[in-house]
Amino acid sequence: MKICIVGGVAGGASAATRLRRLDEGAKIVLLEKGKFISYANCGLPYYVGGVIENRDELLVTELELLRERFQIDVRTQNKVLSIDRNKKRLTVRNRETGDLYEESYDKLILSPGAAPRRPDLTGADLPGVFTLRGVPDTLAIDSYIRDNGVTEALVVGGGFIGIEMAENLKRRGLAVTVAEFADQAAASLDREMANLIHRHLAEHGVSVRLKAGLAAISRDADGGMTAVLTDGNRVSAGLILLSMGVKPESGLAEAAGLELDVGGSIAVNEYYETSDPDIYAVGDAVSVRSLVSHEKCLIPLAGPANRQGRIAAENVLGAKKTIGAGVQGSSVLKVFDLTAASTGLNEKQLKAAGIPYRKTYVHPMSHASYYPGASQISMKLLFDGDGKILGAQAVGQEGVDKRIDVIAAVMRLSGTVYDLEEMELCYAPPYSSAKDPVNMLGFTAANILKGDMPVFYAEEIAGLNPEESVFLDVSTPQEARANTVPGFVNLPLDELRGRLSELDRKKTVYVTCRVGLRGYIAARILLQNGFSVRNLSGGYRTYSLMSEDKTVYEGKTLPLSP
């Protein structure tokens, strides 16, 4: 059988090598329009920042290896221009020679990826305005900074690529501003969780402007540029990176009459077959079914692309393999010293999909607090009335990815919050606590569902009626003096049992503390003494994140490095 593959990076290269491992006799032709195959897109920002110093390290698999070890006919700089589905032939342009030729196939796998969005705005095509997708973009950005002595950069779009580039441009010594059209960066998180990232970027000298899209770019007399933002502000920059999301590269498929799906993606079934049974498609170009909402959606991530390439290869050879119940979009982001990770749907997405949910917040330490170096992780878990996990988010310095990976695995196995309670995870003081943060999420979620801990949420506070409520902060007096939720009166937990008579039994008692743990104990005391009570999920820490709706985070001026 002769199989042609369009696109030689994540999905395409995975499909090609899997095909060879399964079928020594197959003729495999890998057509890639660019100069490089199987490169590390995900590592590109770190080359700009100098973390990855050698550009050869960006190439995951050498071209020669694919050719020699896997006997794959790899053709870089060969762009597929069209597909004749009746004749099962491709028209290809060799970009080195300019020659056009035809290539036949028995089966075709499309993995053309997604292209960065470039808005149709004045100045968006000026020299110095970049998008980042491949190695050539990276090298161009790198040399532009060097050749033009760039000192200021504007990153338009606060998604994963935008934030990673902001960090790496800062590492490179540039003054960096991130402008984001939405009211938050890092869209996979909810706003209150993303506030940790906004703050952290500013602490590391990166300015963040929210609700500020790009309106136009003009060239200045001194050779720099000025970007006009939709909030009316102007930002001067020697380099502007447009990281405004990606759109599926479905033009080739569309011209061949293949069916398209949401967002102009290539429509595929669960086997990654397109509307033509001899053509498969994978990766960023296709839409997938969400594990949680079961709706079709776009999840442009490397993990799914690689696994889909593998599965499509097996199906091309006659298997009927699927990726299981759907894609959950597990992702992780480094932001200077912070890690932000998530899996499943966030609260915004659940609301938009009309899926009923419950939630809990915890802010535990990454490992036993008595062992040096522990740091706080802020975590949020979303689940339904039966305890089925719908999504999770975590932001912190240490151990964030492993917690979200554990929850992602439980979700994939259709687990519930009760499974999180029971998870037996490895423990020693340098790594975790005997009650791991994942267990803590399970405990609090299960307590909410069983009615052991009635909760209220920070966003409900403004709507609570003071006539019918008692508001207590059960932290220590020192803590409550430092900061508390407005209107909450300090009654330290250890005095609560002795002062119950001071509380009006006809009213609902709303309790808070720093992170929700002492509030939980107070709630248990009050419940067992006949009070109607609710504990603030995540305590003051969640309140402070939730009530922060700033649109500008000025980058702090950092001391010059010696």
Ligand X SMILES: Cc1cc2nc3c(=O)[nH]c(=O)nc-3n(C[C@H](O)[C@H](O)[C@H](O)COP(=O)(O)OP(=O)(O)OC[C@H]3O[C@@H](n4cnc5c(N)ncnc54)[C@H](O)[C@@H]3O)c2cc1C
Three-class secondary structure of residue 398 per DSSP: coil
Query: Nearer to ligand X by C-beta: 192 or 249?
Result: 249
Q: Nearest approach, Cβ of 334 to ligand X (angstroms)?
A: 9
**Nearer CB in complex with ligand X: 391/516:** 391
- Name the token pair of 530: 């006949």
Residues whose CB is less than 8 angstroms from the CB of residue 528 and which lie 6 or more positions away in sequence, other chains included: none
Nearer to ligand X, 33 or 310 (CB): 33
Question: Residues 45-64: x/- map of binding to ligand X (CB under 6 A)?
Answer: x-------------------
Inter-residue contact 196 to 378 (CB < 8 Å): yes
User: How many separate helices (H) and strands (E) can be counted in the chain?
Assistant: 16, 33
Of 2-10, 339-347, 387-395, 510-518, the segment contacting ligand X by CB under 6 A is 2-10
Residue closest to ligand X, measured at CB: 283
State the catalytic residue, choosing from 4, 42, 297, 513: 42
284 binds ligand X (CB under 6 A): yes
Helix (H) or strand (E) holding 100: strand 100-104
Of the pair 81, 489, the CB lying nearest ligand X is at 81
Q: Give the interface segment with ligand X, choosing from 25-33, 56-64, 343-351, 507-515 (CB under 6 A).
A: 25-33
* 492 in contact with ligand X (CB under 6 A): no
Which residue in 4, 9, 169, 279 binds ligand X (CB under 6 A)?
Answer: 9
Among 2, 27, 35, 79, binds ligand X (CB under 6 A): 79
Count of residues interacting with ligand X (CB under 6 A)? 32
Residues 422-451 that bind ligand X (CB under 6 A): none
Binding test (CB under 6 A) with ligand X, winner from 10, 16, 197, 240: 10
Does the protein bind ligand X through residue 133 (CB under 6 A)? yes
Helix (H, G, I), strand (E, B), or coil: what is residue 280?
strand
Strand partners, 470: 509
Single-letter code of the amino acid located at 179: A
CA 208 to CA 212: how far, in whole Å?
9
Calpha distance 474→480 (Å, rounded): 8
Q: Under the criterion CB under 6 A, does residue 113 sit at the interface with ligand X?
A: yes
Site for ligand X in 145-164 (CB under 6 A): 161
Residue 11 binds to ligand X (criterion: CB under 6 A): yes
135 binds ligand X (CB under 6 A): no
Question: Using the rule CB under 6 A, is 248 a contact of ligand X?
Answer: no
CB 187 within 8 A of CB 342: no
Which residue in the set 300, 364, 516, 519 belongs to the binding site for ligand X (CB under 6 A)? 300
Phi, psi (deg, nearest 5) at residue 333? -140, 130
Distance CA 301, CA 318 (A): 26
Amino acid identity of residue 457, one-letter, is Y
112 counts as binding ligand X under rule CB under 6 A: yes
Cα–Cα distance for residue pair 13/43, rounded to 1 Å: 17
What is the nearest approach in angstroms of ligand X to the Cβ of residue 383? Answer: 25
Name residue, tokens 């001026």.
557
Q: Is 31 among the residues that bind ligand X (CB under 6 A)? A: yes
Q: Are 197 and 394 in contact (CB under 8 A)?
A: no
How many beta carbons lie within 10 A of that of residue 424, not counting itself? 7
CA dihedral 16, 21, 27, 33 (to 10 degrees): 10
Q: Does residue 400 belong to the site contacting ligand X (CB under 6 A)?
A: no
297 included as an active-site residue = no
Instruction: Identify whether the C-beta of residue 111 lies closer than 8 Å to the C-beta of residue 34.
Output: no
Q: How far is the CB of 98 from ligand X (least distance, A)?
A: 15
Residue 364 binds to ligand X (criterion: CB under 6 A): no
Q: Which residues bind ligand X (CB under 6 A)?
A: 6-7, 9-12, 31-34, 41-42, 44-45, 79-80, 111-113, 132-133, 161, 249, 252, 283-285, 300-303, 305
